[in-house]
Chains A and B, each alone.
Chain A
Amino acid sequence: MSKIHVTTTVNGDQVEFLADPRESLLDCLRDRLGLTGSKEGCGTGDCGACSVRLDGTLVCSCLVLGVEAEGKTVETIEGMANGNELHPLQRKFVEHAALQCGFCTPGILVAAKALLEQNDNPTETEIRYWLAGNLCRCTGYDKIVRAVMDAAAELRGEAA
């Protein structure tokens, strides 16, 4: 099957790749662009490990075709830090031990950032429901929720 040329912006950089029309955006990010930070845990949109932003919208990149990224902007975990300056969520995840194996972490960070951009003071319940599409099998979510709350407080300028 012939491939389709796709031009898109990933983490601020314009990139091009050839996509088989059957390939997911996740496959293209990982296998065409070498951005392996987004993970495949299920391939059916149930685990959230592949979470990315597409034109600002939080999506499971395993449920988006690579060719759909044409002309759009994609944000992945690789673009979350500003050089060596971590996003507060990234820092708080390490500080709170909010990851064990770390496989779900990129997707959860991308999803949590999307939450905090629309709600800078989420309740514990709001965080739990927002992240209900991101499975973590290691932590029981306790430290993840605490890390998100702490990062939100820091972003609001409150002392931890």
Chain B
Amino acid sequence: MAKDEFTEFKLVGTRPDRPDGLDKVTGRARYGADMSMPGMLWAAVVRSPHAHARILRIDTSKAEALEGVKAVVTRADFPEGLTGEEWNLQENTIAGDKALYDGHAVAAVAATSALLAQDAARLIEVDYEVLPHVIDVDDAIKPDAPAIRPGAADATVPEGMPANVVRYIDFGHGDVDAGFAEADLVMERSYKTEATHQGYIEPHACVGQLGADGKGEMWVCTQGQWYIRKMCADVLGLETAQLRVTPSEIGGGFGGKTTIFMEPLSLALSRKAGGRPVKLVMTRSEVLRATGPTASASMDVKIGMTKDGTITAARAEFRMQGGAFPGAPVDMALYCAFAPYKLKNVHHIGYDVLANRPKCAAYRAPGSPMGAFAVESLVDEMSRELGLDPLDVRLTNGVREGDRASYGPTFGSIGLIETLEATKAHPNLLVPLGPNQGRGIAAGYWFNHSGETSVSMAISEDGSAQVSVGTPDIGGSRASIALMVAETLGIPYEDVRVNVVETGSLGVNEPTHGSRATFASGKAAVVATGQAIKEMCRRAAAEWGIDEDAVEWVNGAAQPAGPNAGKFPPLTIREIAGKMGETGGPISGHHEGLPEGVGASFGCHVVDVEVDPETGHTTILRYLVVQDAGRAIHPSYVEGQYQGGAVQGIGWALNEEYIYGEDGRLQNAIFLDYRVPVASDLPMIDTVIVEVPNPGHPFGVRGVGETGITPPLPAIANAIQDATGLRMTHLPMTPPKVLAALKAAGRG
């Protein structure tokens, strides 16, 4: 039922108010920390001040003696014997033998007030034996680096690799040496990106309750309530179904709220405190020290190009650290790095390396921005060297439907070429530039994702509809799903209510990640709605005494499918629903599975900058995002994803980084020092929504959340080169770094 570009929609593509808008502009929307429960206690966490230290002794007696303290937990309160990622999650929740990074939780306390819990936490004494630590990925991969977790390497790592390499990746196709030999220009460069944090404004927060009978509940800000349920159950040794997890409204996630950090602590404290609910809210400093961030990367890229801009071969070697646990997204980074290019010869090598930093979490297109920074920087530099237009070089090499992707599979319907053409036609490219100004372009890619999805919908007695989805709404997915369901039913948008439900209401859903909510929950909701429509057609057929196949659904009503079916006035959804009690009972639909037909999304960004030669400060003058949405269900929220992704990328490119001292402690663990872009840093972010419909979705949706963070890193580096002639290869491109480069070039 894929609709072509000429299909007229009544609702899809319009911009109605979001259903949660009123709650969110009046302060009524309830987020993680807004919940209180009867008999509730408050928790605080004791964290390691050391990057790497053996825990010799934890003395909780003084804290336990404080009046009002109801429970203290350490690792001794958690089950032993976990393995693999379950052990990683438990170890990250609360340290065992060693603290592995600055901020690693060591103990937690619950008391009758938040202040009392904080006081009690200060009374917990921990003796540490400080161990040598390593922070930078290039240091961590050295053979003589402190070994953080001997034995953590998986089977992909060949014998003899340095101790902190835990995963090794090597893939490609063709003959890169032969390809480089065909090139007129071969260039090789090394790049680095620093760790950044998702920077959601809402700190992690939950209220957990767990009884001695193993039954529990949790209210939590999360992108995925079923992930929270399973991970908490694994870490605590509970039966998964006995834990019921309700997602709050979520104050931003960007991938960082797809996993657990401190949630099991509230449950463990609750169990120890006789089952009283325990509220645990992180401070910003805890968020920055002990949650999220993304990996940092050190990357070597080599590309061969002919004089006309054809890429003959490409090679990438990426080293990424994702903290003291396996999981840096080096695989994703490599898959995405060359994705915009049709390559006969390509070779990728990757190393996932441990360092004494917090366990990385997904961050918007995990890995892709780093890979794009390296590859799109080099393609740009080579285009300039050969006197070619960088957009034309991307068009020359750009992948189309049926091409083999750099990472193996064959592309289905994709919209890279359309995206590049739309970029080329945009008036921003004609704006003249002044002194110290430059323009940069870059492309970006994300696969998009489907995953476990379960959706129910039901028709109400008055013909309105409710939809139960398991994907928390971060950026307007309730609006987009309501639009698709209303369009399918032929009823007003306002007649559909989409509820994000708790784990007891549906089968397992993956989180809102991978740009999947509007694709996967939306597709499942449309399929479920089709079942309800079929049932309503059946009931109309029964009333008319005709065959149900002779009934069709048009504009919110059942009608005879043609003159041969009989002559009956249409039965509206309201009429059919009003009689459901007499015609067979509730009318509903349900769909679950792994929705197929994910459509990848390409984007292209153009940025104009001005670099101040006296300070090295880069000002963003103009910014353009062009991206293939497949179909924009609610264009305002598609634009919002493009704009928000671009600005996170701008922050990554220019400001944001984890800064560690010699002692391995994070030095910028507040928003004053970890500086995300503010309103006065930015211009308006121009957007163009390209629509090359995804045939795998009933309305052509691709998923739009992630691609937008990938091009800004290289696009800004390319613009700085255009403005200054300097090639910046190490993010962030802060004023001191740019000024130093200008001075080194004799121009500062």
Contact = CB atoms under 8 A, between A and B. Distances in A.
A19 to B, nearest CB: 11
Contacts of A41: 201-203, 251, 284, 671
A58 interface: no
B640 A101 contact: no
Interface in A78-107: 78, 80-81, 86, 90-91, 93-97, 99-106
Contact of A101 (B34, B251, B676): B251
Contacts of A93: 21, 25
Interface string A66-81: 0000000000111011
Given A140-B685, A141-B679, A100 B26 contact: no
Interface in A20-44: 20, 22-23, 27, 30-31, 35-44
B27 A140 contact: no
Contacts of B206: none
A81 to B, nearest CB: 6
Nearest to B635: A97
A93 B476 CA distance: 14
Contacts, number: 189
A44 B284 contact: yes
A136 interface: yes
B672 A49 contact: no
A20 B671 contact: no
Interface stretch (B230-238, B324-332, B643-651, B727-735): B643-651
A36 B34 CA distance: 6
Given A105-B24, A132-B681, 19 more contacts: A23-B115, A44-B671, A97-B15, A97-B637, A101-B249, A102-B20, A105-B25, A128-B680, A132-B678, A132-B680, A134-B679, A136-B201, A137-B199, A137-B252, A139-B640, A139-B643, A140-B646, A140-B677, A142-B685
B475 A78 contact: no
Chain B residues touching A, range: 35 or more
A42 B284 contact: yes
Interface in B27-78: 27-31, 33-34, 36
A17 to B, nearest CB: 14
A103 B685 contact: no
A138 B671 contact: no
Interface string B658-682: 0000000000001110001111111
Interface of B: 15, 17-18, 20-31, 33-34, 36, 113-115, 198-203, 249-254, 281, 283-284, 474-476, 634, 636-637, 639-640, 643-644, 646-648, 670-672, 676-682, 684-685
A31 B476 CA distance: 29
20 contacts: A41-B284, A42-B284, A42-B670, A42-B671, A44-B670, A86-B26, A90-B26, A93-B21, A95-B17, A97-B15, A100-B476, A101-B200, A101-B253, A105-B24, A106-B27, A132-B679, A135-B671, A136-B201, A139-B644, A141-B647
A43 B283 contact: yes
Contacts of A129: 679-680
